[in-house]
Structure 1
Amino acid sequence: MPRTEFATRFKARQQLLGAFVKTPTSHASEILGGAGFDFVVIDEEHAPIDRVTTDQILLGCRASDIAGLVRVASSAPSAIQSVLDCGAAGVLVPHVASAEIARTVVAASRYRGDARGFSNSPRAGGYGATGMWAHIEAQDRDVAVVAMIEDREAIDVIEDIVAVNGLDGIFIGRGDLTVSLGAKSASEPVVKDAVARVMTAARNVRKPICVMVGSVEEIGPFHAEGASAFIVSSDQGLLRASANRIRAEFSAAAN
């Protein structure tokens, strides 16, 4: 099922389609799963979503056979452990601006040799039905750990970050990166150069790359440069786009 296959498919750099979920309900993940999306990213960083809501959305993901990842609010180990216990297929961790932060994130996400606190009593462990070592093996194998590269400081040490053992891939946060670099838009050369350096570093160590695109037309160029996982909008953005289209069609039909 996608929730356990995501890490395998992501690390194999298969083309994957996803969207952010920003509304505190399971409905969007169920709809996107039914539409054939590969994954959603539940947004705890920029949306009114807490642990209880994340738990409910992840249940919706399982019901609709779609991988549920979580963009946690911070790199704090407690934030990471919380969503993994709820059964997340992986984490997107914001502002990973150094190899030290990347190592901390990996440690918080892994049992063997690292620092994730053990419990098989939540959903991830089948509420206790999965034995200790079977749970440890499955979680360390199936959970995807993705660093968000979105700071000027990260660009200077990107080769060190992507080389961190146990880090499964990177997400390029072009919005934050644009702000951090003091650019007016992501189309400015300074941002494009930074993105190109990140993608080159990831390709050199064969780490998968995830990007958010403004439209499906952007997928081709990014795929040619090595990106394989694509986040196209969010549940709110998809609703807004559909609402605007229908409003325009209604106005045209009414005249």
Structure 2
Amino acid sequence: MGNLLKEKIKNKEKVLGTFFELGSMSVIECLGQTGLDFVIIDNEHGPFETESTMNYVRACDNVGLTPLVRVREVSRPAILKPLDIGAKGLIVPCIETVEQAKKVVEYGKFSPIGKRGFCPSRKDYWGYSHPQGQPIDVGMKHENEETLLILQCETVGCLENIETIVSMDGVDGIFIGPFDLSISMGIPGEFDNPEFLKAIDKILSTCKKYNKISSVFTGRFDDIDKYYKQGFDIVTYSLDANILVDGFKNIVSTVK
């Protein structure tokens, strides 16, 4: 199976998604009716384990949403399992060093790029999605091309090493976590601070230089179009929970 999100980016479409925190397949089904391109199933801050994540990935597949998973840490199980259950990409948080980035590639990409463990699994319908007799390395190459490793730049350490990290074979892109990045820079929440804006420009220009995916989170609706015009490939807007609460608050305040 191909990666529709990757195709949309290649076609220069405006790609928009949100964080999935509410933990219901019905929510996924509802989000699939909105025109969103993807959701990020949050294994870092959300309460989800592998089995529930698999069900949400399956629900995404059923409604045409691209399922991404934010993993909880840089470890082999945390990276391997979401890919094996069918996630089309991973958001890997709290990257601080080049060595951490190398570990992500080692765990998340098959040879010859990395050392991802091989096993038929839900990702390839336990091997039955491939023609019988297809060489193993053909499937491995397909997985390397169609599953995305997107590292989250939310620390000064990652910012300082951004060129080395982005240029790395196997790193498909960068996701900017503005809250933690601003905190790490000592300017928490100061998203209009010149130093913060300079950091955003540095990350974006580095992604463009190496033809890697550039992605950013925002909780401010007015920033969505601004980031597209700035050149970001992907914008992640808010959390499903926040959007739900804000939507009903607006209704209630209008009525009452």
Normalised to the residue count of structure 1, the TM-score between the two structures is 0.91
Contact 2:178 2:218 in 1 (8 A): no
Length, aligned pairs only: 249
Larger mean CA deviation between 183-192 and 40-49 belongs to: 183-192
Deviation at 1:13, TM superposition (A): 4.9
RMSD between superposed Cα atoms in Å: 1.8
Partner of 2:117: 117
The aligned amino acid for 1:118 is F
The aligned amino acid for 2:201 is A
1:50 and 2:49 equivalent?
yes
* Structure 2, gaps ≥5 residues long: 131-135
Contact 1:13 1:208 in 2 (8 A): no
Of residues 197, 202, 205 in structure 1, which corresponds to 2:207?
A: 202
Deviation at 1:215, TM superposition (A): 3.2
Indicate the SS of the match to 1:68: strand
Contact 1:209 1:227 in 2 (8 A): yes
1:173 and 2:177 equivalent?
yes
Contact 1:6 1:144 in 2 (8 A): no
Of residues 121, 137, 144 in structure 1, which corresponds to 2:141?
A: 137
Partner of 2:251: 246
Deviation at 1:176, TM superposition (A): 0.5
Give CA deviations for 1:137-193 in whole Å, capped at 9, x if unaligned: 331121011010000111111111111112111101101001111113222222222
* Structure 1, gaps ≥5 residues long: none
Contact 1:163 1:205 in 2 (8 A): yes
Contact 1:90 1:144 in 2 (8 A): yes
Indicate the SS of the match to 2:170: coil
Partner of 2:61: 62
Once residues 133 and 228 of structure 1 are traced to their aligned partners in structure 2, the CA distance between those partners, rounded to angstroms, is: 30
Once residues 166 and 9 of structure 1 are traced to their aligned partners in structure 2, the CA distance between those partners, rounded to angstroms, is: 20
Deviation at 1:12, TM superposition (A): 5.7
Give the 5 Å matches for 1:136-155: 136-155=140-159
1:162 and 2:166 equivalent?
yes
Structure 1 residues 216, 97: CA separation in 2 closer, same or farther (over 3 Å shift)? same
Indicate the SS of the match to 2:3: helix
Partner of 1:227: 232
Deviation at 1:133, TM superposition (A): 4.2
Deviation at 1:197, TM superposition (A): 1.5
Once residues 171 and 72 of structure 2 are traced to their aligned partners in structure 1, the CA distance between those partners, rounded to angstroms, is: 18
Identity of aligned residues (%): 27
Normalised to the residue count of structure 2, the TM-score between the two structures is 0.91
Deviation at 1:30, TM superposition (A): 1.6
1:211 and 2:216 equivalent?
yes
Once residues 200 and 245 of structure 1 are traced to their aligned partners in structure 2, the CA distance between those partners, rounded to angstroms, is: 37
Deviation at 1:250, TM superposition (A): 2.4
Indicate the SS of the match to 2:150: strand
The aligned amino acid for 1:140 is N
Deviation at 1:73, TM superposition (A): 0.3
Larger mean CA deviation between 212-221 and 167-176 belongs to: 212-221
Deviation at 1:112, TM superposition (A): 2.4
Partner of 2:3: 4
The aligned amino acid for 1:213 is T
Contact 2:227 2:235 in 1 (8 A): no
The aligned amino acid for 2:50 is R
Deviation at 1:5, TM superposition (A): 2.0
Larger mean CA deviation between 34-43 and 103-112 belongs to: 103-112
